[in-house]
């Protein structure tokens, strides 16, 4: 039995690649050839998608020198909703969920925290990820996240704890963990947005 992902049901693969690029990095602008290279698709397909998204008001187009640059339109009435859909399905959250899938049996908690989870990131922001599980190897996890860093063009900073260590530090009221757990998080194990 084949199951269709939410992202695949709503958008073509080309649209997913373009939307993920713009709505995962809304403060950054991209020129046509850069989008073509990052999306790994033909210039004709990408040109049509960009024109359609700009015409709908989801992207803004600006001229920089002899290049047309495109950027997510934060003033669009559906910017926040579309960004949330992108991130939950095939954007940052979707890419990270896919990357850590082999670790699922070991994980008790996995979530994005920091500026991305708060919606306060800028073009150069890193992506902070907390993983709580048994027998986690930092080097193995970095290898898993390497392709996500490449796709997002942003560093990913994983923080790892064993379940015992996590509980002990929470019980001790460790400042770092207490702050992380009080702030918004994007859950990578469940369908919700955090707790």
pLDDT per residue as tens digits for the range 119-138:
787 767 899 999 999 999 99
Task: For residue 85, tell me if it sits in a domain.
Answer: no
Least confident of 21-25, 28-32, 50-54: 21-25
> Are 101 and 182 part of one and the same domain?
yes
Task: For residue 101, tell me if it sits in a domain.
Answer: yes
Number of domains in the chain: 2
> Are 182 and 98 part of one and the same domain?
yes
Which run of H or E residues covers position 122?
A: none
> Are 108 and 146 part of one and the same domain?
yes
Token pair, residue 117, equals 């989870």
Task: For residue 192, tell me if it sits in a domain.
Answer: no
> Are 60 and 133 part of one and the same domain?
no
Residues 66 and 115 sit within 8 Å (Cβ to Cβ): no
State if pTM tops 0.75: no
191 DSSP β-pair partners = none
> Are 74 and 154 part of one and the same domain?
no
Residues 141 and 160 sit within 8 Å (Cβ to Cβ): yes
CATH, residue 175: 3.30.460.10
Query: What are φ and ψ of residue 75, in 5° steps?
Result: -90, -5
- Residue 143: partners with Cβ closer than 8 Å, 6 or more residues away: none
CATH, residue 61: 1.10.10.10
**Distance between alpha carbon 69 and the CA centroid of its chain, in Å?**
21
**Distance between alpha carbon 5 and the CA centroid of its chain, in Å?**
16
Token pair, residue 49, equals 């998608």
pLDDT digits (tens, 9 = 90+) for 179-194: 999 999 999 987 544 4
∠ Cα 38 41 43 (to 5°): 100
> Which residues constitute the domain of residue 166?
91-187
pLDDT digits (tens, 9 = 90+) for 136-171: 999 999 999 998 888 787 899 999 999 999 999 999
- Residue 162: partners with Cβ closer than 8 Å, 6 or more residues away: 132, 133, 134, 136
> Which of 76, 74, 86 has the alpha carbon at shortest distance from 122?
74
Token pair, residue 155, equals 């560093």
Query: Within 10 Å of residue 119's Cβ, how many Cβ atoms?
Result: 13
> Which of 80, 68, 93 has the alpha carbon at shortest distance from 5?
93
Q: Which conformational region is residue 2 in: left (phi greater than 0), alpha (psi within -120 to 50 degrees), or beta?
A: beta
What would the mean pLDDT of 52-80 be, rounded to a whole number? 95
Task: For residue 193, tell me if it sits in a domain.
Answer: no
Domain end, chosen from 46, 80, 114, is at: 80
> Are 115 and 181 part of one and the same domain?
yes
Task: For residue 194, tell me if it sits in a domain.
Answer: no
> Are 183 and 118 part of one and the same domain?
yes
Task: For residue 39, tell me if it sits in a domain.
Answer: yes
């Amino acid at each position: 039995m084949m199951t269709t992902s939410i992202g695949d049901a709503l958008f073509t693969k080309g649209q997913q690649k373009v939307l993920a690029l713009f709505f995962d990095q809304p403060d950054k602008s991209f020129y046509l050839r850069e989008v073509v290279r990052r999306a790994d698709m033909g210039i004709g397909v990408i040109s049509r998608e960009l024109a359609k998204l700009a015409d709908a008001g989801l992207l803004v187009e600006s001229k920089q020198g002899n290049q047309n640059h495109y950027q997510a339109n934060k003033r669009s009435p559906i910017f926040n909703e579309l960004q949330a859909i992108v991130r939950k399905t095939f954007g940052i959250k979707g890419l990270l969920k896919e990357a850590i899938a082999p670790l699922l049996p070991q994980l008790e908690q996995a979530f994005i925290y920091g500026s991305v989870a708060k919606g306060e990131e800028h073009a150069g922001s890193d992506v902070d990820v907390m993983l709580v599980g048994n027998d986690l190897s930092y080097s193995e996890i970095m290898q898993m996240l390497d392709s996500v860093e490449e796709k997002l063009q942003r560093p990913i900073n994983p923080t790892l704890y064993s379940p015992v260590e996590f509980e002990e530090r929470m019980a001790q009221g460790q400042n770092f963990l207490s702050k992380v757990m009080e702030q918004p998080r994007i859950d990578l194990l469940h369908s919700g947005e955090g707790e």
